[in-house]
Amino acid sequence: MSMRTLHPERVDETRMHAYSIFAPLLINALAQTLERRQGMKELDKLEASLLRLIEETVVAAPDGDALKEFAVELITSTLRNVREHPDAKHDLEEIDNRRTQGRSEIPATLEEQLQSGLEDSFPASDPPAVVSTAITGGSKTIVGTDEVLRRKKAASKRERHPK
């Protein structure tokens, strides 16, 4: 059924029904396109702008406030879905604010700063030394894993083949 064959009394009702179905789809598609091309910051700006537009609009209807609330709900839920979509690209983190004071942008200077930092922390990067403690009753021979395994294997052979 097309608009031409629609009964004149049903035109406004059908138009409102079409708006209610297609407006969220269109808003979602436009928001996804904006997010992909411009990033999340632009999506945030769009949301703020649309919410401000809704709040500033004067609706001459008895249920104008409810209409505005539904419009705000539509905008926030649609843009939340766009943000949470698995294909959404998130803006890169602003690293300028995180840069260490005195850090150079010149690669050679950065290399010098890195070497200097490594030299300053050198003892901390050494592996821990093996320390022996004094135990009363004489010294014990420290046996490594290989020696323990060799002794167990030899003992197992002796048990199987007694002399």
Q: What is the pLDDT of residues 87-130, one digit of tens each?
A: 877 766 665 666 666 666 777 877 787 777 777 666 665 655 55
pLDDT for res 49 = 93
Whether the predicted model's global pTM rises above the 0.75 cut: no
Q: What is the mean pLDDT of the segment spanning 18-47?
A: 88
* Least confident span in 40-44, 74-78, 135-139, 141-145: 135-139
Give me the pLDDT at residue 92, please.
64
- What amino acid occupies position 11? V
The two three-digit tokens of residue 109, written as one number: 């200077």
Q: How many residues does the chain have?
A: 163
Q: How many CA atoms lie within 13 A of 102 on its CB side?
A: 3
Residue in 13, 14, 34, 18 with CA at minimum distance from that of residue 78: 34
Evaluate if residue 57 carries a pLDDT over 80: yes
Give the separation between CA 40 and CA 150, rounded to whole angstroms.
64
Report the distance separating Cα 110 and Cα 162, nearest Å.
Answer: 69
